[in-house]
Amino acid sequence: MQTALQNTQSGRPGGKRSTPTRTALPDIIKGHIRWIKDPGSGTRADLSRMDLAGLDLSGINLSGAVMVAVDCRGAKFRGANLTGADMFAADLTDADLSSAILRNVSLRGAKLSGARLDHADLTEADLRGGTVMGADGMRLGSETTDISDCQLDFATLARARMSGAQLRHTSLFGAKLNGAQLNGAELDETNFANADLTGANLSGARANKASFRNAKLCDANLKGINASESHFEGANFEGSKMEESNLVDCWLEKAKVRINPNNLPPYLRRVFTEHEQWVSTGGKKGQRGALSDENLGYLDLSTRDLSGIVLKGCNLEGADLSNCGLLFANLSKAILTDASLVKAALSGASLAGADLSRADLTGALLTPIPVRGVDGGETGRVRMTDLRRAKLEDALVGGLDLTQCVTS
């Protein structure tokens, strides 16, 4: 890539160029305004490496300006128009860019720590890391753009490129991030509450202890995201890709999330596939599935025949097991809070010690089931659904005859 400090033909600063002083700023801005209206009558502003720290430039129009490695620490650009500006390696630490227009701006390798960007428009902005080498041998920029501790509430970052960026402790409440690239980004303790992340790419990102309350994550790429202890209450995950994602100890109450089994790690997909083959062939092919203490929360297993499977102690919180065949299944000590077991076939299943708090068992099949021998012949014995020590607080069990089950 041709560096910003080596290209003199495009109006970017070269090694022999002297940095303008603040006293030249008014004339530079006047020339730039004329250039915006008619490139033949003005001069594009080049503020590269200039010291603008602490200045109040609110409302200014610097669209298309060259501002490579400019020092804007603590400066005010409230409501300013910086559309298409080249701010590669700029230092905007603690700057105020609230309501500023930064569409298509280049902020690669920039420092934005502590900056205010609430209500700013950063549509298609480039916030990836990047470094350049100047003619003086100085390396400018950073491999990681620092957007930590920023205020980006209600900002627009649609299709913004932030791969690998550092956004730790940043607030993006209500922000529009549809189609944004956040893969590999550092998002620990970041606030995405009420944000729109539809179609965004967060694959491989770190988002521990972050907040995604009521966020839209529809069709988002969440493959390999590490988001342990994060808040997803009321979030919408419909259509999202979640293969190998880590949502351990997360809060997912009232979230619209159903994880497709195809997004499970390969070894778990294999367990379910081979088990269903074992069931459909009467044990001639495949093998009986046996898992213990696995995290299967919010997994969509509806309508699948998992009769006889062992899921002892597994976390199935919020899972969809509606119309699922679970005859003779071992779900003892499983966590089934908020799970849907509507019309699930649970005859002969063991739910001893399972937590079924707030689970929906409407229309579930709990009648005793005959036990057959290895040859398929009748044994004269029946097995009842085992609900001993199971927790059923606030579970929907209306119309079910629990006297047909073992409860003590």
**Where in the chain are the domains?**
258-408
Q: What percent of the chain has pLDDT over 90?
A: 79
Residue 19, pLDDT above cutoff 80: no
**Backbone phi, psi, residue 161, to 5°:** -105, 110
- HEC profile for the chain? CCCCCCCCCCCCCCCCCCCCCHHHHHHHHHHHHHHHHCCCCCCCCECCCCECCCCECCCCECCCCECCCCECCCCECCCCECCCCECCCCECCCCECCCCECCCCECCCCECCCCECCCCECCCCECCCEEEECCCCCEEEECCCECCCCECCCCECCCCECCCCECCCCECCCCECCCCECCCCECCCCECCCCECCCCECCCCECCCCECCCCECCCCECCCCECCCCECCCCECCCCECCCCECCCCECCCCECCECHHHCCHHHHHHHHHHHHHHHCCCCCCCCCEEECCECCCEECCCCECCCCEEECCECCCCECCCCECCCCECCCCECCCCECCCCECCCCECCCCECCCCECCCCECCCEEEECCCCCEEEEEECCECCCCECCCCECCCCCHHHCECC
Average pLDDT of the segment spanning 8-13: 36
Mean pLDDT, range 251-273, rounded to an integer: 84
The whole-number pLDDT of residue 2 equals 34
Per-residue pLDDT at 241? 87
Least confident of 29-33, 47-51, 135-139, 320-324: 135-139
Predicted confidence band of residue 257 (pLDDT cuts 50, 70, 90): confident
Q: What is the pLDDT of residues 308-353, one digit of tens each?
A: 999 999 999 889 999 999 999 999 999 999 999 999 999 999 999 9
Fold of 258-408: Pectate Lyase C-like (2.160.20)
Predicted local confidence at residue 8, as pLDDT: 30
pLDDT beyond 70 at 220: yes
Residue 259, pLDDT score? 78
Query: Has residue 133 got a pLDDT over 80?
Result: no
pLDDT band for position 236 (cuts 50, 70, 90): very high
Residue with tokens 């997803």: 232
**In degrees rounded to 5, what are phi and psi of residue 348?**
75, 5
pLDDT average, residue stretch 227-254: 87
pLDDT, averaged across the chain: 91
CB of 270 closer than 8 Å to CB of 252: no
**In the predicted model, is pLDDT for residue 263 greater than 80?**
no
Per-residue pLDDT at 156: 98
How far is the C-alpha of 247 from the C-alpha of 45, rounded, in Å?
Answer: 48
Q: Does 18 have pLDDT greater than 70?
A: no
Question: Which of 137-141, 337-341, 369-373 has the highest mean predicted lDDT (pLDDT)?
Answer: 337-341
pLDDT of 242 reads: 83
Is 80 exceeded by the pLDDT of residue 146?
A: yes
Give residue 389's pLDDT.
96
pLDDT above 70: residue 79: yes
What confidence category does residue 14 fall into, taking pLDDT thresholds of 50, 70 and 90? very low
User: Per-residue pLDDT tens for 94-104?
Assistant: 999 999 999 99
Taking the C-alpha atoms of residue 60 and residue 95, their distance in angstroms, rounded to an integer, is 15
Query: pTM of this prediction?
Result: 0.73
Phi and psi torsions of 26, nearest 5°: -60, -40
pLDDT in tens, 175-203: 999 999 999 999 999 999 999 999 999 99
With a cut of 50, say whether residue 4 has pLDDT above it: no
Work out the average pLDDT over 215-240: 93
Percent of the chain past pLDDT 70, that is, above it, reads: 95
